[in-house]
Amino acid sequence: MPESYVLELKGITKNYFGTTVLKGISLSVKAGEIHALVGENGAGKSTLMNLIFGMPVIHETGGFEGDIFIDGQKVNITSPRQAMELGIGMVHQEFMLLPGFTVTENIKLNRELSKANLVSKTFGSSFETLDYPAMQNDTSLAMKKLGLSIDETSLVAGLPVGYMQFVEIAREIDKKNVRLLVFDEPTAVLTESEAEYLITAMRLLAAQGIAILFITHRLDEVMACSDMITILRDGEMVTSISRSNASLERIAELMVGRKLERAQLPPRAVEPHDQDLILELNNLQVQMPGEQVRNLNLKVRRGEILGIGGLAGQGKIGIANGVMGLYPASGEVYKDQNQIKLNDSKDALQSGMAFVSEDRRGVGLLVDESIALNIVLTSIEAQQKFLRPAVLPGVRLIDKKSVRSYTLKMIKDLDIRCTGPNQPVRRLSGGNQQKVCLARAFTLKPEVLWISEPTRGIDVGAKQLVLDLLVQMNREYGMTIIMTSSELTELRRICDRIALVYKGRVAGILRPDASDLEFGLVMAGKKTAKEVG
Amino acid sequence: METKVLTAKDYLNKEAIRAFFVGFGLPRLIISGFLLILFILAFIMKMDLTILLSDSLVRIGMNGLLVLAMLPTLVTGVGLNFGLPIGFICGLVGGVISMELNLVGFRGLFSAILFSLPLAVITGYLYAALLERVRGQEMMVGTYLGFSVVAGMCIFWLMAPFKNPVMIFAIGGKGLRYTLTLFQHFGKVLNNLLAFSLMGVVIPTGLLLFFAFFCLLAHLFFRTRTGLAMIATGANPLYASSSGINIRAMRYTSIILSNVLAAIGAIVYAQSYGFLQLYTAPLYAAFPAVAAALIGGATLKKATVSQIIVGTILFQTLLTIALPVTQTALRGADISEIARMIISNGMILYALTRAERR
Amino acid sequence: MADVNIAQPKPELTKEKQLDQFLGQMSVPLFFAFLCLLGIIAANLNPRFLINEILTRLGRNSFLVLSLIIPILAGLGLNFGIVIGAMAGQTALIIITHLQIGGLPGLLLAFLISIPFSVLFGWLTGLILNRAKGREMVTSFIMGFFANGLYQLVFLVLIGTLIPLKNPVLVLSSGIGLRNSIDLIAINKALDHAVFGPVKLGPYNIPLFTLLVIALLCVVISFLMKTRLGQRMRAVGQDMNIAEVSGINVNKTRIIAIIISTVLAAWGQLIFLQNIGTFNTYNSHEQVGMFSIAALLIGGATIRRATIWNALVGVLLFHTLFVVSPLAGQRLLGIPQVGEYFRSFLAYGIIAVALALHAWQGKKK
């Protein structure tokens, strides 16, 4: 009975600049069904949502292949406005609410009910006066559908976070003809009890015949409310199963499951071991919005490559940023038994650590400056290298000659494709920009290298090169590398151990050859793994 | 190695050339073209080019330091220092104190600078502390802070206990005059130093050397560790702080430097003009300096010493030439003030509305 | 169905908090009221003169100050570009003076003629401000100067060269450019004395019709903010991004707000000049933005919040200070200029403080 599907996707494929992010996705959602969509970061969930909602980014990047059907009718959704008209509502991850407006005003934003008057009859509907009683009436109706009572006239600014989420939902269901609601990780910002209410409200809505597409990381929520579960991995649909056939373990395994391609890595003379620690993090807390670290403990062995993995928002990104002084942190960090000052990048750098940030263009580079300056500037500032005395005593200037010869050497060693040391890095490709970032870090001659998302946004060939380079640095110079990545595959490929972060803490440390199931469960916070040797 | 280094041809495609003209060269091209037309007009109308050139040289030297004062804050990303009148007034106070003590010649000039320095550093620090708290609105706050300081200082000029009779109002015996003559003190000492005439063009050697000296200092400064730290702060504050740079200190330093340069610039301006102009005279001091920096090709986030020099030369020459040429052509209507307003503010508007690249 | 009822916490403000908030908003006007009081005592002015002066200035300036409100609500901040509106008004005045149409019909014609000019200027301003999101104020401020340059180019250079205008009353003897000052005797107080003639209440001259027009404008502004358009402006003013996502055309809404403000400023300048009765071709508009903005801020408005009452109270306080400070300076220190400088110091200072507070609070968020 294909007619009973509210939404049907058939063979959706989407390319972004030559990389395929969605491959032949087909899924269908029935009226009154809660359909969960799960997958790791980068699995393609948000692209799929943008596509359904007709976000401009899809069309600006060349559209997609495949068909979308709403109520059995083939549709071509080109704008969010059209998606709304088709009865698709979206509950955004970030709140789209105006704090200075009342609940009613927010729910009715740009869909206000109004009454005609003398002016509007001459100058058009823009001058119709707002009909507050009618709007409040609608609002309380929508709230009732959610099983909720909020004073419609109170300002959103004064509401607790959980309520804002409900106001968002109320706005969507107040739109007439709404048939399909998309929830994009709605529980990410909620407390546990608020999340429970939300799940209840979702069930309530489904019972009223609205189809719900529910995107989440939290597997227990999936098990708690969904009817159907679709799992995405690397832009491909792994499977669609009904909840009765699913178990938490099974989903976790399907989400992660990949063939392990661990190449033979060069051996070391002495393998890293627990008796020789280079770094110790005790009770580390980092206030990085969206990636909070809470009371994290971690011991790093000298000379190892330690991977840090975990789902987005769990705090893995926050660790390096906190230790290196980019975000406010507290707790204790010891390198070789010496405590390092937190919130002080200079001290971190001078203690022999370097950082290649996940935000390459935001933190890693001076995009309009030359390759040479990008590579040497941090060393000039933190270690006073590349300076020569000037005429005046005590004044030292940048030594352009040695900077140039050093940069040429780096360009050669790291195979940076460019016109020369003076080319601005803006013009380089993503992979070559990343190499400049690495060169910047290597120039500091660090004992410990923190590197986050080393291969994000660069093409396949460059990915391999970057990973090889890391292994080479580790083996040849004994550089301890702590690599944070959302891509479990690359962690499993080169790391000695992988620490998985959940809710700002290390949930477990696994060997790279541990089973997919184990990785899946630890990442989803369903299991804590003992540290392995 | 050759295989790895791509040739320049790969990057200099049409798009890049277009971007070069649109994003970087176009305003300068227009201004230069305009300047050229004025020169041709002047030549056709048989005007005395040597006088025009002499005047241009003087104006370049007398305004140069004020334009250079824009450099530090542009480099660190604080933006255009519309609060220039604050530093300017420090210079005026230095000048007035030097006059009160009846110091003449170079002693007068350098003691004026010396007196203004501590003031400029202190007010610069306070100004920086304010700007740090209003990040994102530095230009507007700077403008109106500058205006308020000028207005507040008007009361100071009226009430200050200066005694030297050449400085105070003839009637009433209280309050400084609107304009103080410097000829008996340090008027034109720099202009006349080593001045010589070359084919009828008078070269104010001392004045130009003074400006050149500061440009050289600035050039060298941006090659030191601190100078490079400032460049990084402006180019990308996150990169800078991840390199262990105290970006706040860099911003403070740049504002103080700018303030100090403005103070010295005000004294140089006054000695070249021959008068100290008090009261509301410094109100719009920032605008010509801002415009010159932008005409030179500086943006709100990046600037170099050479852009400052080029901008000063283009803008000041233009203003010098525009006045006599248009006055002759338009039977007395003075277009130079209008041209100044349109060009300088048009330039600032252009800079403000340019899409930021990221 | 109501099994998930969640009790809503009370975000209601306590009485103390309400009082705090009220005092917070009123502190600026209260401070200036206190200053005015000191000034009045120090100046020892004849109260009759003072009240007459303030009534005149209330009629003269309120319309201009009110023209600032809508851009603030639409999130564009203080519209320093009302200077451009003032230029449009003056252009209309020059045209009716040339056509020699005086009295109320002349003034009404000027109102009409100023519309196309101010709509065009407002539209251009809006376009430029949309390219400078986040620095609208500094951009509109600089645009004021830029437009002033163009204005002077047109009326000082192009008149008589490119624009053929032979009117010895208006044009300088050289035949190029308008005279520095233009007499507006023909429309002097045309609006103030319209319909009711010169109204006197005891010893006080009341610009009755102008005050009625201002009252009407207040009604229109509050009506506008209750319409769909007004709601759109408020939404854009709070968060452009969210407004855009809700399907509001942000750029268009902002342009409309600026156009309305520019048209109102043009009319405001006409009201201002008909009261004064003469105008400096090249200077009358220059200070309009600064004085109006200072008045609005003294009335307790901020860069994100402004009401009609802020405007009216602001005009009252600012112009009381304006009248009393030179005299207070004269009597306290024997130097009248001190009061004048103090006055402009206050005007600049209040704007600087408002801008700084705005940025400061924005950063805290």
Between C81 and A458, whose confidence is greater? C81
Tokens representing residue C274 in the block: 């008909």
The number of C-alpha atoms within 13 Å of C42 and in the hemisphere containing its C-beta is 22
Q: Which of A380, A402, A433, A440 to mutate to test the interface with B (most CBs of B within 10 A)?
A: A380
What local confidence, expressed as pLDDT, does residue A225 receive? 85
Nearest neighbour of B330 by CB, restricted to C148, C152, C176: C176
Decide if pLDDT at A199 tops 80: yes
Contacts of A332 (CB under 8 A, 6+ apart): A280, A281, A282, A283, A284, A339
Between A191 and C190, whose confidence is greater? C190
Do B232 and A355 count as a contact with CB atoms less than 8 A apart? no
Q: Cα dist. A402→A216, A524, C52 in Å?
A: 52, 50, 78
Q: Which of A440, A438, A513 is nearest to A470 (CA)?
A: A438
d(CA A138, CA C136): 37
Three-state secondary structure string covering C247-303: CCCHHHHHHHHHHHHHHHHHHHHHHHHHHHCEEECCCCCCCHHHHHHHHHHHCCCCC
Mean pLDDT on C239-253: 87
Decide if pLDDT at A529 tops 70: no
- Which segments in chain B show pLDDT lower than 70? 1-26, 172-173, 330-334, 355-358
Q: Tell me: the pLDDT tens digits for A381-419?
A: 888 889 888 877 778 888 889 999 999 999 988 888 888
Contacts of C205 (CB under 8 A, 6+ apart): C52, C55, C56, C198, C199
Query: Å from B280 to nearest chain C CA?
Result: 9
Between C255 and C170, whose confidence is greater? C255
d(CA C230, CA A127): 8
What local confidence, expressed as pLDDT, does residue C315 receive? 93
What local confidence, expressed as pLDDT, does residue B4 receive? 40
Do C174 and B349 count as a contact with CB atoms less than 8 A apart? no
C27 touches chain A (CB under 8 A): no
| Contact call for residues C76 and C254 (beta carbons, < 8 A) | yes
Residue extents of the structural domains in chain A: 1-87+177-257, 97-176, 260-352+446-533, 369-445
Tokens representing residue A306 in the block: 């330690």
Decide if pLDDT at A33 tops 80: yes
Mean pLDDT on A205-211: 87
What local confidence, expressed as pLDDT, does residue A530 receive? 58
Contacts of C140 (CB under 8 A, 6+ apart): C76, C78, C79, C80, C81, C125, C129
Query: Å from B24 to nearest chain A CA?
Result: 13
What local confidence, expressed as pLDDT, does residue A2 receive? 44
A104 touches chain B (CB under 8 A): no
B121-B126-B132-B134 Cα dihedral, nearest 10 degrees = -140
Contacts of A49 (CB under 8 A, 6+ apart): A90, A182, A184, A213, A215
Nearest neighbour of B235 by CB, restricted to A363, A366, A384: A366
Q: What is the DSSP string of B291-341?
A: HHHHHTT--SS---HHHHHHHHHHHHHHHHHHHHHHHHHTTT---HHHHHH
Nearest neighbour of B134 by CB, restricted to C152, C335, C356: C356
Residue of C nearest to A116 (CA): C227
CA B222 to chain CA centroid, nearest Å: 18
What local confidence, expressed as pLDDT, does residue B6 receive? 42
Q: For strands B201-203 and B196-198, give the pairing.
A: antiparallel
| Contact call for residues A503 and A314 (beta carbons, < 8 A) | yes
Q: Give the 3-state secondary structure of residue C50.
A: helix
Residue of C nearest to B175 (CA): C335
Do C341 and B154 count as a contact with CB atoms less than 8 A apart? yes
What is the ipTM for the molecules in this complex?
Answer: 0.83
Which residues of B fall within a CB distance of 8 Å from C152? 337-338, 341
What local confidence, expressed as pLDDT, does residue C124 receive? 95
* The CATH number of domain A260-352+446-533 is 3.10.20.30: no
Q: Per DSSP, what are the bridge partners of residue A483?
A: A307, A451
Which residues of C fall within a CB distance of 8 Å from A128? 227-228
Q: Cα dist. A307→A260, A263, B21 in Å?
A: 15, 16, 47
* The CATH number of domain B37-353 is 1.10.287: no
Out of A119-128, A457-466, B169-178, C335-344, the most confident range is A119-128
Residue extents of the structural domains in chain B: 37-353
Residue of B nearest to C290 (CA): B144
Q: Dihedral of CA A264/A268/A270/A276: which sign?
A: negative
B225 touches chain A (CB under 8 A): yes
Query: Å from C358 to nearest chain B CA?
Result: 8
CA A326 to chain CA centroid, nearest Å: 18
d(CA B119, CA B93): 9
Query: Å from B54 to nearest chain C CA?
Result: 27
Q: Give the 3-state secondary structure of residue A295.
A: strand
Decide if pLDDT at A491 tops 50: yes
Residue extents of the structural domains in chain C: 46-282
Decide if pLDDT at C66 tops 80: yes
Share of chain C above pLDDT 90, in %: 41
Residue of A nearest to C7 (CA): A149
What local confidence, expressed as pLDDT, does residue A278 receive? 92
What local confidence, expressed as pLDDT, does residue C184 receive? 85
Q: Cα dist. C74→C234, C243, C266, C310 in Å?
A: 5, 11, 20, 17
Q: Tell me: the pLDDT tens digits for C137-163?
A: 889 999 999 999 999 989 988 888 888
pTM of the model: 0.82
Which residues of C fall within a CB distance of 8 Å from B333? 156-157, 174, 176-177
Q: Per DSSP, what are the bridge partners of residue A293?
A: A286
Which residues of A fall within a CB distance of 8 Å from C247? 80-81, 84, 110
What local confidence, expressed as pLDDT, does residue B46 receive? 79
Residue of B nearest to A412 (CA): B1
Q: Per DSSP, what are the bridge partners of residue A484?
A: A308, A452
Grade residue A39 by pLDDT with cuts at 50, 70 and 90: confident
What local confidence, expressed as pLDDT, does residue B7 receive? 45
Alpha helices in A175-262 (DSSP H): 192-207, 219-225, 248-256
Q: What is the DSSP string of A46-100?
A: HHHHHHHTT-HHHHHTT--EEEEEETTEEE---SHHHHHHTTEEEE-SS----TT
* The CATH number of domain A1-87+177-257 is 3.40.33.10: no
Look-up of token digits 């452009």: C240
Query: Å from A55 to nearest chain C CA?
Result: 10
B129 touches chain C (CB under 8 A): no
**Chains contacting B (3+ CB pairs below 8 angstroms):** A, C
Mean pLDDT on A215-221: 78
